[in-house]
Homo-oligomer: A and B are copies of this chain.
Amino acid sequence: MITIKEIATQLNMSTTTVSNVIHGKTGEVSPATIKIVEDYLKKVDYVPNINARNLAQNQSKIIGVALKARADKYENLLMDPFVSELIGGIEESIRNAGYFMMLYISRDTNEIMRHVSTWNVDGLLLFGMIDNDGIRVSERYKKPIVCIDTYSIEGLKHFINVGLNDRQGCFDMVNYMIKQGHKKIAFLSDNMRGVDYERFSGYKYALEGNGIHYDESWFLQIKPKNEDIEKSLDDICKRIPEFDGVMCVSDLYAVQLMCALKDRGVNVPEDISIAGFDDTLLGQLHRPALTTVHQDVKQKGIMATDILLKRIKGEKTPKQVQLPTELIIRDTVKCRL
């Protein structure tokens, strides 16, 4: 770990000169000196001490990526294919921009804030915030923040959000199902907040637009925690005969449901149609292949990161981005006409 000071001593010059060369301030240095310094830097394989640099410049070159885990979900958030694909896109963007990614998962918003201020991150990417979490963080932390998939009416004033037209996506799919002759369509989710609520709204809106009356009993609740999932899937399967189809809030749930159904001798799509949302690997690698609402998850991560980086540089960006969805018609919704 050689330092600038040491290099300066070795080369019999000042730290300023060395530093100038390192930063390409060539206008200030004679070509001969530049050459000498550059050669020496290469020879000793100089690596700047990032702590010293950050201290001097009051920056960090770190993008904090904070995922808020929900208490009622899996212990391992990254196992959700949606999350891992998102992180993949984010990591790539951060790296390409010459920044560094510090990943932090927590159930506790306070912990996240502490983490963020400790590292004095240059910007923050937030996922999994519900209700006022995002606002709380952005009020406390004055650096740029971009949320992903956060719905909050008040929040719109406080933070930038990169989201999806969730409502439209679900609306389109349910409309499609109705056009294929489905009438009694259930909605499967684990909760009714944020993204899930938006998707639910699109679902309900499509039903109503086609003169189908939504009944509360059409909401099928899955409990994703390890110890509850089997039981809740069993309950759901028992109710399946009541319906023509199920709109699932995610591919993961759609596939879990299809497995449970198959284990009970129920055939998809002959006995019941299933639609998913997200278009992850899980649905693509299922047979029958899952009919689903596509979103470009990786792109979402990239876009959120790009906006954040622009904000860090002080550039203008949109305050809200809503990515489009696309219907992917595969084999789990059957025509019942």
Partner-B contacts on A (CB < 8 A):
1, 47-52, 54-55, 60, 75-79, 81, 83-85, 87-89, 91-92, 95, 100-106, 114-115, 117-120, 255-256, 258-259, 262-263, 281-282, 285-287, 289, 298
Contact = CB atoms under 8 A, between A and B. Distances in A.
Nearest to A287: B262
B77 A120 contact: no
17 contacts: A1-B120, A49-B120, A50-B120, A51-B60, A76-B298, A78-B85, A78-B91, A79-B281, A84-B87, A91-B103, A100-B119, A256-B285, A259-B285, A259-B289, A263-B287, A285-B286, A286-B286
B1 A117 contact: yes
Contacts of A115: 100
A78 B95 CA distance: 15
Given A51-B51, A79-B81, 12 more contacts: A49-B55, A50-B119, A51-B120, A76-B85, A76-B88, A76-B89, A78-B84, A81-B84, A95-B104, A255-B285, A259-B285, A259-B287
Contact of A52 (B55, B102, B259): B55
Copies of chain A in the complex:
2
Contacts of A83: 84
A285 B258 CA distance: 9
Contacts of A1: 117, 120
Given A51-B60, A118-B47, A100 B91 contact: no
Contacts of A51: 51-52, 54-55, 60, 120
Contacts of A91: 78, 103, 105
Contacts of A81: 79, 81, 84, 281
A88 B95 contact: no
Contacts of A104: 95, 100-101
Nearest to A118: B50
A282 B252 CA distance: 10
Contacts of A114: 47
Contacts of A117: 1, 47
A298 to B, nearest CB: 6
Contacts of A255: 285
Contacts of A101: 102-104
A105 B105 CA distance: 19
Contact of A95 (B87, B105, B285, B289): B105
A96 to B, nearest CB: 11
Contacts of A103: 91, 101-103
Given A88-B77, A118-B48, A285 B287 contact: no
Contacts of A50: 118-120
Contacts of A60: 51
